[in-house]
Amino acid sequence: MGIDQSPPVDISEADAAKELMRLAKAIAKHDRLYHSKDDPEISDQEYDALVRRNAALEAQFPHLVREDSPSKKVGHAVGSSPLGKVTHEVRMMSLDNGFSDEEIHEWVARVRRFLSLPEDEPVPITAEDKIDGLSCSLRYEAGKLVRAATRGDGQVGEDVTANVAHIADIPQEIGGDHVPDIFEVRGEVYMSKQDFAALNAAQEEAGAKLFANPRNAAAGSLRQKDASVTAKRPLRFWAYGWGTASEVPANTQHDVMRQIEAWGFPVSPFLKVTDTVEEMLAHYAEIGRQRPDLPYEIDGVVYKVDRLDWQQRLGFVAKAPRWALAHKFPAEQAETTLEAIDIQVGRTGKLTPVGRLAPVMVGGVTVTNVTLHNRDEIERLGVRPGDRVVVQRAGDVIPQVVRNLTPEVEREPYNFPDTCPECGSEAVAEEGEVDVRCTGGLICPAQRTERLKHFVSRKALDIDGLGEKTIDQFFALGWLESPADIFRLRGRKDAILALEGWQDKSVDNLLASVESKREPDAARLLFGLGIRHVGEVTARDLLKNFQTLPALRKAAEQACAGDDEAFAEITSIDGVGGAVVEALGDFFHEAHNVEVWEDLLSLVSPPPYVVETLDSPVAGKTVVFTGKLATMSRDEAKAQAERLGAKAAGSVSAKTDLLVAGPGAGSKLKKAQELGIKVIDEAGWADIVEEAG
């Protein structure tokens, strides 16, 4: 439709940071709802809109990408699945996304830089269409299918071996030449557009629930406890890669895929090797042109570096490989009426406006809600309830308002509330800030319950059975004044039992699940407290360094009291800066927070954080690279260090164990020598890498 796929977002950096924070929270919440209930609160389209908005902001402000960013997470956790769990030996990654041609050029340039390739060296890259289904890993041992698993969160998936037995595209046995002893074929389970339409028609006739799109239908059909339900659903499969392999049958992505095809698996009809960015973009355009006529839904094109030795060197960052990229198709738009604007109050007190729409089909999916982000966004769009608006969903399923169609006439603008709809406190935007926040703090029930919900969420303490409704209910009864009160619930067993809807078993389950967290992971506990700038990854990095929460608190307080050494120790942790120190300082400065902290630590005993060590000479050590490296880029060197279990830091401090110095090393080398830190050259580093295998 000729819409720019990644328009720059018109937003200040401060606003972007805040919005990213809010998006991370919202997406985590909906992940939880989606996977713990069958009936999520928002549609897939709305969910994807949040993810897309997050991606757009991160693309524009790469330095604001949060440690707890949803873009660093893969798929869903399988905690509440009725299916068995399967741990993937080789993690199932997700893909980074690109939207504009420039991003594709930039990605290829990045690959070149990482590999230190000369400008004229061709970089062959495979391109194929990205089918919209459910990722699945199929393990073959001695040619026989022994296990099938969904991606899950990338590390642990669900066992769907019995379910895939009914998918005709998946061979139960593979034979012929070159079948390794162990080989995991990875691909997508999907449903064709036609089969999806027929299934929904049958569901409707039977008075059963309709599926929102083919992907949901495929996922819902595969993830069935009763495999005979799966058997009745017309599922298909195609392969796009592989996982664990005792032997890889070729040296390039393309040739391995052709071998997988020869074993009897369907692969993308568009799969081909391209040699230039121009060829990649031409293939993308061609696939886009054919997209409406394809019998299945696709949402983009996937590029992969063809040479497997290069893939190996490029490795991974966070959740995604550096050697692959998904080039998404552009947004689709439609007109509808904005019927109402609702205000939601979050954990930090932020008032977020949500637009309720007259339902409208956008690219084949019904959209009913849009996020309006904040007060300024409403002002910028000039929208009021009743206005005609253009909504857009990008990627495959999305909603945001891009334009107001209502003619500009003299009228009262929308009145953004100046009081909190939940507690009635004044709601204000601080000087220079765009977000309007409830000033009620601890008296605001919305903020308090949102904090409790964060505390028990999957990425924090992960307390099963303490859902949003239960928290709201217990909170209203005055049983949950602070997170610590969760650990006092066992004293209220009879009172809980007396509530409607609770039975012995459900109360026992809840209390058992609380009791199982008496010795919680310290990093999760820290993350659960919701301290600004302390996301999931930062919390873990802090604990890796300080081992215990009291040690971290001591260092943070010293650092904020002007102790340079304590400040340096915290900020020497890769990815942790002054903002984290300040946020920790602010947190411990509040008497109330200290009270909650001490109360909590009197009820739970997180064991000291143990750093996982690999069997490598630099495992657990802190390595700094400086000077010019001849055989690899700085990024590749850091990635190698991380692969060996070492921490790659940016600056030399007393915590540094090893300095790898190339020619031209300056102040870092001098400092390392002063501190008596071991210094080696690039060849010495290569020996370590080789030794570790």
**Of residues 332 and 422, the one with the C-beta less far from Zn ion:** 422
Q: How far apart are CA 605 and CA 510, in angstroms?
A: 19
Asked if 364 and 296 touch (Cβ cutoff 8 Å), the reply is no
Enumerate residues 198-227 that contact Zn ion by CB under 5 A: none
| Shortest distance, position 234 Cβ to Zn ion, whole Å | 50
Of the residues 18, 72, 130, 319, which is catalytic? 130
DSSP assigned state of 309: H
Choices 234-242, 368-376, 425-433, 654-662; region in contact with Zn ion by CB under 5 A? 425-433
| Residue (of 164, 120, 169, 119) closest to 146 by Cα position | 164
**Of residues 300 and 349, the one with the C-beta less far from Zn ion:** 349
Choices 283-291, 393-401, 423-431, 519-527; region in contact with Zn ion by CB under 5 A? 423-431
**Of residues 81 and 449, the one with the C-beta less far from Zn ion:** 449
| Residue (of 85, 86, 79) closest to 35 by Cα position | 79
Q: How far apart are CA 394 and CA 595, in angstroms?
A: 45
Choices 127-135, 198-206, 416-424, 674-682; region in contact with Zn ion by CB under 5 A? 416-424
DSSP assigned state of 408: -
410: which residues sit within 8 A by CB, 6+ positions away?
A: none
| Shortest distance, position 446 Cβ to Zn ion, whole Å | 5
**Of residues 326 and 471, the one with the C-beta less far from Zn ion:** 471
Choices 303-311, 363-371, 373-381, 431-439; region in contact with Zn ion by CB under 5 A? 431-439
Is residue 422 part of the contact set for Zn ion (CB under 5 A)?
yes
Q: Quick check: is 544 catalytic?
A: no
Residue with the two structure tokens 């609770």: 502
Residue with the two structure tokens 């506990």: 525
Q: What angle do CA 89, 94, 98 make, to 5 degrees?
A: 155
Provide the CA 125 distance to its chain's centre, in angstroms.
26
Q: How far apart are CA 158 and CA 656, in angstroms?
A: 41
Strand 332-345 and strand 365-371: the pairing is unpaired
Strand 236-245 and strand 97-98: the pairing is unpaired
Choices 4-12, 109-117, 206-214, 422-430; region in contact with Zn ion by CB under 5 A? 422-430
| Residue choice 420, 510, 555, 665 for contact with Zn ion (CB under 5 A) | 420
**Of residues 298 and 436, the one with the C-beta less far from Zn ion:** 436
3-state percent breakdown (helix, strand, coil) of the chain, nearest 5 = 40, 20, 40
Asked if 263 and 321 touch (Cβ cutoff 8 Å), the reply is no
Enumerate residues 5-34 that contact Zn ion by CB under 5 A: none
Q: How far apart are CA 83 and CA 220, in angstroms?
A: 13
Provide the CA 143 distance to its chain's centre, in angstroms.
34
**Of residues 53 and 448, the one with the C-beta less far from Zn ion:** 448
Q: From residue 122 to residue 161, what is the string marking binding to Zn ion with x (rule CB under 5 A)? A: ----------------------------------------
Q: What is the CA radius of gyration of the chain?
A: 27
| Shortest distance, position 96 Cβ to Zn ion, whole Å | 38
Asked if 516 and 461 touch (Cβ cutoff 8 Å), the reply is no
Choices 43-51, 166-174, 418-426, 629-637; region in contact with Zn ion by CB under 5 A? 418-426
Asked if 403 and 418 touch (Cβ cutoff 8 Å), the reply is no
SS3 267: strand
DSSP assigned state of 491: G
| Shortest distance, position 343 Cβ to Zn ion, whole Å | 10
| Shortest distance, position 444 Cβ to Zn ion, whole Å | 3
Sign of CA dihedral 19, 132, 199, 78: negative
| Residue choice 260, 305, 331, 423 for contact with Zn ion (CB under 5 A) | 423
| Shortest distance, position 443 Cβ to Zn ion, whole Å | 7
**Of residues 420 and 460, the one with the C-beta less far from Zn ion:** 420
DSSP H or E segment with residue 686: helix 682-692
| Shortest distance, position 481 Cβ to Zn ion, whole Å | 16
Size of the residue set binding Zn ion (CB under 5 A) = 7
Q: How far apart are CA 130 and CA 102, in angstroms?
A: 20
| Shortest distance, position 473 Cβ to Zn ion, whole Å | 19
| Shortest distance, position 418 Cβ to Zn ion, whole Å | 12
Q: How far apart are CA 353 and CA 436, in angstroms?
A: 10
608: which residues sit within 8 A by CB, 6+ positions away?
A: 522, 547, 548
**Of residues 221 and 482, the one with the C-beta less far from Zn ion:** 482
Asked if 36 and 467 touch (Cβ cutoff 8 Å), the reply is yes
**Of residues 422 and 521, the one with the C-beta less far from Zn ion:** 422
Choices 185-193, 320-328, 380-388, 433-441; region in contact with Zn ion by CB under 5 A? 433-441
Enumerate residues 435-454 that contact Zn ion by CB under 5 A: 438, 440, 444
| Shortest distance, position 427 Cβ to Zn ion, whole Å | 7
Enumerate the β-bridge partners of residue 159. Answer: 149
**Of residues 145 and 444, the one with the C-beta less far from Zn ion:** 444
Q: From residue 293 to residue 322, what is the string marking binding to Zn ion with x (rule CB under 5 A)? A: ------------------------------
Per CB under 5 A, residues contacting Zn ion are 420, 422-423, 425, 438, 440, 444
Catalytic residues: 130
